[in-house]
Chains A and B, each alone.
Chain A
Amino acid sequence: MSAIVIPRTGAAEPAPRWFALPAFGNEAGKGLRLMWRRRFMVVVAATTFGLTYLGISLFVGGGHLVKDLMVLTVPALLAVVIANTAAVQGTGGIAEEINGGTLEQTRLSPASPQLQALGRMTALAIEGLAVAIVLGIVFVFGIGLDIDPHPAVLLPVLLTIGDALGYGLIMTALVVRVPSIGAITHVANMVIMAFGGVLIPVGLFPHGMQVFARFIPTALGVQSVNTILAGHGLAATWSDGTLPWLLAHAAVVVTAGLGLYVINIRHAQREGGLSPR
């Protein structure tokens, strides 16, 4: 009697290392193609952010634009744009995939959930940055804000982008667990706008509010950028504690976002929550 050996089934083999880069590129590419498909919405988003900021500036200025104040608050607007884009498009995209049933299909890929999440967030970072750059140009040159760019701002800017994407990933991960939570993203974004320095520089808040604001994604980065743009240099923002806190904040938020996303995807996979419930 002959016998054949049935291959053992068990946990999937991890994807080979060479696979990581194309898988990441595919996710990012997919995100960018989707962005191009809804490019009209990207223009609407940029208009919304611009008008929101103008409206806030007019309210605070009593019906006039106060340029000296806008110089301090416009970096916060640009940071909010990136955070908002990551959160709104991240949650909207994942809710769409869950409701449409395609999130299940993405888990057929040997790529890890964290790699897929990184690909998604990279596309959203590019979208947010594109809108932020356009708005920055419009406000600085259109309204004539006197901002003297300094190369040292690149470090806090990069950390702020990381912080904003980490926040977007946390919101996205929450939607994987509770798909109906999408609308709460709007409120979370309002919190960031109110306390992240768009209304007034964070340093003008009362002490308790300043402490609270330090936990808001983008607030520390904006404070750090403003210190450098005021001509005090990178050393000043390190010695006043803003930059070290920003480093720690960005690391914690990105790690929390990735961790929560992986946990919630695995939970949804176990409980059958990758498709509509």
Chain B
Amino acid sequence: MNTATAIALRNEIGKGLRFAWSERLQILIELPMFAVFVILLGPLLGQGQNLASGRVDWSLNSQTTSAMVVWFVPFTYFYMQVVKMFWRLLGEIQAGTIEQVHLSPLPPWLTAAAGRVAAAILETLFVAAATYGIVSTFVTIRLHWTAAALLPAAAIMIAAIGLSLIIAGATLVYKRIQIVNDLVLLMVMLFSASALPLIHVPGWWRAAGHAFPATDGVGSLYNTMLAHRSVTSAWGTGGLIPLLAVSTAYLLAGIGAFILGEHVAKNRGTLGRY
């Protein structure tokens, strides 16, 4: 890596971190919501019939809640990476500064991604730690902490970067598509639930789940941190081969989508114009 590239990369990461710091109040406001969601949804899973007849047991089950934390933390990273990258990019498009990105020696997709990755990791670590702390005051969370979990964690990050680049590419062309963010993240969340023994899901849901970027990552984290299975098992939900294949495919698709979106916007002359 030559000096100019290294400096540009460092600058983008630094800019992302400064943005994250400027949004610290927003993150503090967001933080309790993640914990509340886990605490609130835990006792309600599968209780539909009881709820319809007006009965609800608000006690939290340790096993279910632990699985929900494993499900929810990767989703937090997806949120931090995808949603915030979208808003930042949209701001740059609307202000016209997106065109200046092309003055950088870095490829534009790397400029967009690098500015967000480090900040999203730090934000997620902070939110995950706080969520863990808040939830564990209500119920014991039993997780097997092992370095092997770093493999699915890295795969989840790569998949999230890929997804954020796909959304970013679409943003360059279609601009205000925040609702697409919501739809995509919802799909990621719903289908990743098929990797956990939280609810009974139909076969098609389980099969379709593999095509979504978080499912096998969540499955692998569950295998490693809750089910005491090896992270190197090749197949099945959370298996090493689907985990790596899906993450790599999303990253490549993301880079491709960003380049395509940029190409279309440049040809239309709408890169920095709303």
- Identify the A interface with B (CB < 8 A): 38, 41, 44-45, 47-48, 51-52, 55, 57-64, 66, 68-69, 72, 88, 92, 95-96, 99-100, 179-184, 186-187, 190-191, 194, 199-201, 204, 206, 276
A194 touches B40 (CB 8 A): yes
Chain B residues near A44 (CB-CB < 8 A): 179-180, 183
A194 touches B37 (CB 8 A): yes
Q: Which 9 A-B pairs have the closest CB atoms?
A: A62-B46, A99-B94, A66-B48, A61-B48, A63-B200, A68-B52, A48-B183, A69-B52, A55-B190
User: Closest residue to B180 on the A side, CB-wise?
Assistant: A44
User: Closest residue to B49 on the A side, CB-wise?
Assistant: A66
Say yes or no: is B245 at the interface (Cβ < 8 Å to chain A).
no
- Contacts A47-B183, A69-B51, A194-B36 given; indicate if A183 touches B58 (C-beta within 8 A): no
Measured CB to CB, the closest approach of chain B to A200, in angstroms, equals: 5
B94 touches A41 (CB 8 A): no
Bound: A61/B94 CA distance, A:
43
B199 touches A181 (CB 8 A): no
B179 touches A183 (CB 8 A): no
Question: Pick the contact of A62 from B48, B58, B190, B274 — CB < 8 Å?
Answer: B48
Say yes or no: is B143 at the interface (Cβ < 8 Å to chain A).
no
Chain B residues near A184 (CB-CB < 8 A): 26, 29-30
For residues 185 through 209 of chain B, which have their beta carbon under 8 Å from a beta carbon of chain A? Answer: 186-187, 189-190, 193, 198-202
Bound: A99/B91 CA distance, A:
7
Some 21 contacts from A to B, beta carbons below 8 A apart, are: A59-B41, A59-B198, A61-B48, A62-B48, A62-B199, A63-B46, A63-B200, A69-B48, A72-B52, A95-B91, A180-B22, A180-B23, A183-B26, A183-B83, A183-B87, A186-B79, A186-B181, A199-B44, A200-B51, A201-B51, A204-B51
Question: Pick the contact of A59 from B79, B177, B193 — CB < 8 Å?
Answer: B193
User: Closest residue to A91 on the B side, CB-wise?
Assistant: B178
B51 touches A66 (CB 8 A): yes
Chain B residues near A62 (CB-CB < 8 A): 45-48, 199-200
Majority secondary structure of chain A interface residues (helix, strand, loop or mixed): helix
A52 touches B46 (CB 8 A): no
A48 touches B46 (CB 8 A): no
Write out, one digit per residue, whether chain B residues 71-86 have a CB within 8 A of any chain A CB (1) or not (0).
Answer: 0000000010001100
User: Closest residue to B55 on the A side, CB-wise?
Assistant: A204
Bound: A58/B202 CA distance, A:
11
- Interface bracket on B: 35 or more
Chain B residues near A60 (CB-CB < 8 A): 44-48, 51
Bound: A221/B187 CA distance, A:
29
A199 touches B190 (CB 8 A): no
Bound: A41/B183 CA distance, A:
11
Say yes or no: is B142 at the interface (Cβ < 8 Å to chain A).
no
B37 touches A186 (CB 8 A): no
Question: Pick the contact of B274 from A51, A63, A96, A186 — CB < 8 Å?
Answer: A96
A41 touches B41 (CB 8 A): no
Bound: A68/B46 CA distance, A:
14
Chain A residues near B41 (CB-CB < 8 A): 59, 199
Say yes or no: is B33 at the interface (Cβ < 8 Å to chain A).
yes
User: Closest residue to A64 on the B side, CB-wise?
Assistant: B48
A96 touches B94 (CB 8 A): yes
Chain B residues near A69 (CB-CB < 8 A): 48-49, 51-52
**Inter-chain pairs besides A48-B183, A59-B46, A62-B199, 19 sampled, C-beta below 8 Å:** A38-B176, A41-B176, A48-B186, A55-B189, A59-B45, A60-B47, A61-B46, A61-B48, A64-B48, A66-B48, A66-B51, A88-B182, A92-B178, A99-B94, A183-B84, A186-B79, A186-B182, A199-B40, A204-B51
Chain B residues near A100 (CB-CB < 8 A): 94, 274
- Contacts A63-B202, A96-B94, A204-B51 given; indicate if A55 touches B177 (C-beta within 8 A): no
Bound: A70/B187 CA distance, A:
21
B33 touches A191 (CB 8 A): yes
Bound: A59/B186 CA distance, A:
13
Bound: A52/B190 CA distance, A:
9
